Amino acid sequence: MPGQQEERNKEVANIEQLFLVFECHRREIECVLSKDGMLREAVLESLNKAVKAIHPKLVWEIGPGRSKEFFLAISPSGNNSLLSTTERVADSAPQWESWEVLSAKPPKADWGFKVDWGYGCSVDFREWRYGLLALEEYNLFDVEFIIPNELKVLDKAELNRIGFFLLSSIVGEINVMRKIDSLFFLGEESLLAYEPKKLEDFVDLAIRWIV
């Protein structure tokens, strides 16, 4: 249909523009990553604008790569309906010698399992406890998080974002999207009911079962 073809052509043009913008800043970005520095605000704004032009809910991330020196991830923000879009972006990427382009955020390396989440909230995932429940009929998993009681003031949507961030950091965003069914957040009183796993044991289990 003409309308669909017009939208497709627009997406193709926006993807091409993203990689033109990235190429303009690529050497600077490589230098910043190599020195563990910070990107200039103008570079951040330029990349944000190019990514959001493809779809306003897409986000991006850069860092040390696995198969190449660096990675650029164009993320669907956990939205399964946008995964085909980010896959088209990754498939259209130039063949840079030092860069791999991914359709979702990869696992994080050496980040300490602690993050300043905003709202005056610092989250130390080493203080949480975990349960991984297999839904064998569907090849999916539920995850139970036992969290400090002070975090229970956060609403479920915010807790889901924090839980998704942690799981994506462990097993990669695409595995969370494909393998995790539900997240449950329990208070510290649940520690009396059963013996959940500490972070290091949960990480080993999640990598073995989910990846």
**Among the listed ranges 70-79, 86-95, 134-143, which one has the minimum average pLDDT value?**
134-143
The answer to whether residues 197 and 129 touch, using CB atoms and an 8 Å cutoff, is: yes
Cβ atoms within 10 Å of 46's Cβ, excluding its own? 16
- Cβ atoms of 73 and 57 within 8 Å: the answer is no
Q: Which amino acid is at 40?
A: R
For range 173-196, the mean pLDDT: 87
Distance CA 94, CA 71 (A): 13
Give tens-digit pLDDT for 141-183. Answer: 999 999 998 898 899 999 999 999 999 999 999 999 999 999 9
pTM for the full model? 0.91
**C-beta neighbour count of 164 within 10 angstroms:** 18
Q: Which range among 12-16, 34-38, 91-95 shows the weakest confidence by mean pLDDT?
A: 34-38
Percent of the chain with pLDDT over 70: 97
Burial class (CB in 10 A: 0-12, 13-18, 19+), 114: exposed
Q: Do 77 and 60 meet the contact criterion of CB atoms below 8 Å apart?
A: no
∠ CA 125-127-132, nearest 5°, is 65
Domain spans of the chain?
A: 2-102, 114-210
Tokens 């926006």 -> residue? 14
List, for residues 105-132, the tens digit of each pLDDT value.
Answer: 999 988 999 999 987 788 999 999 999 9
